[in-house]
Structure 1
Amino acid sequence: MESVTNLLAGLGSFAIYFFISLLMLVIFKWVYAFVTPHDEWQLVKEEQNTAAAIGLMGAVVGFAIALAGAIANSIALLDFVVWGVVALIAQILAFFIVRFVFMPKIVQRIINNEVTAGIILAGMSIAVGLLNAACMTY
C-alpha cells in the first residue's frame, strides 16, 4: 500500500499545474481572439470556417507546447505562470509576424475560408510554440 501512496504523492501538484494550464489555455484563446481583427470563434461556430479553425487550433496547440515546456522546466508555480505569460506573448507575436511580414492579407484570406492561410498560420504558431518550449530549458 505504501507504494501506491508514493505513486500518488505528486497528485496535488499535478492537479494544480493541470488546472492552471487549462485556465491559461482559456485566457490565451480570449487574448488571441481579442488581438486578431477577425473573430475566429464566430467564424468557426457560425460559418464552419475551416481556415479559421485550423489557424486558431494551431495557435492553441503552439501555446500548449510552450506551456508544456514551462511546466517541465519550472522550479515553482509562480515560475511556471511567468513563463506561461511569456509563451502567450510569443504566440501573439507569431500571429503578428505572419500578418505583417509573411502574409499581409491573411486576415481576409481566413475570413474567405482559404485553408492554405489557416495552415500557414497554424504552422507558424506550432513552430513558435516548439521554439518557445525549447528556449525555456535552462
Structure 2
Amino acid sequence: MNHIITAESFVAFLAYFGTGLGVLIAAVVVVALITPHRDFTLIRQGNAAAATAFAGTLVGVALPLHAAISHSVNLADAAIWGAVATVLQIVAYLLARAVVGGVSRQITENTVSAGIFAAGISIAVGLINAASMTP
C-alpha cells in the first residue's frame, strides 16, 4: 500500500502528539507534586533511586497514553483516558507508599531498591491500565 502523508493527517498527528505530550507533562507534574521528596532536585543531584522511580512513572503513564491515543475516537476521548491513567499512577504511588513505609525517605536517601520498586509498580499499573483500554 502506498500511504501519502496529507496536510490533514499531519495536523491530526500534531494534535494527538500534542495532547499526549500535554497529558504526560501534566501527569508528571502532578506526581512530582504529591511525592514528599523533590524528584527533580534529587535527579539533578545524581540520585539513582529518584531517577529510576521517576522513569517508571514516565513509562507507567506513557503506556496507557499509547493505548488511549491508539484506540480513541477523538482528542477528547484520548485526553480523558490519559487523565484516568494519571489518576491510576497516583494511586500506584500511594500503594507503593502503603506497602513500603518510608519509600519516599528511602528514595531521598538514594536507596536504589526503593526506586526500582516504585518504578516497577508504576510500570505494572501502566501495563494493566493500557491493556484495559483496548476495544
TM interval, short-chain normalised: over 0.9
Q: How does 1:38-117 map to 2 (within 5 A)?
A: 38-45=37-44, 47-100=45-98, 102-117=99-114
1:12 is paired with a residue of what secondary structure? helix
- What is the distance in 2 between the residues matched to 1:130 and 1:80? 17
Q: Deviations over 1:85-104 (max 9, x none)?
A: 0000001100000101x211
Structure 1: runs of 5+ lacking an equivalent: none
- What is the distance in 1 between the residues matched to 2:68 and 2:38? 28
Are 2:23 and 1:24 equivalent residues in the alignment?
yes
Q: Shift in Å at residue 37 of structure 1?
A: 0.8
TM-score (ref. length: structure 2):
0.94
Map of 2:121 onto structure 1: 124
2:26 is paired with a residue of what secondary structure? helix
Q: Shift in Å at residue 41 of structure 1?
A: 0.6
When the two structures are aligned, how many residues end up with a matched partner?
132
Map of 1:133 onto structure 2: 130
- What is the distance in 2 between the residues matched to 1:123 and 1:7? 40
Map of 1:36 onto structure 2: 35
Q: Residue 40 of structure 1 aligns to which amino acid in structure 2? A: D
TM-score (ref. length: structure 1):
0.92
Structure 2: runs of 5+ lacking an equivalent: none
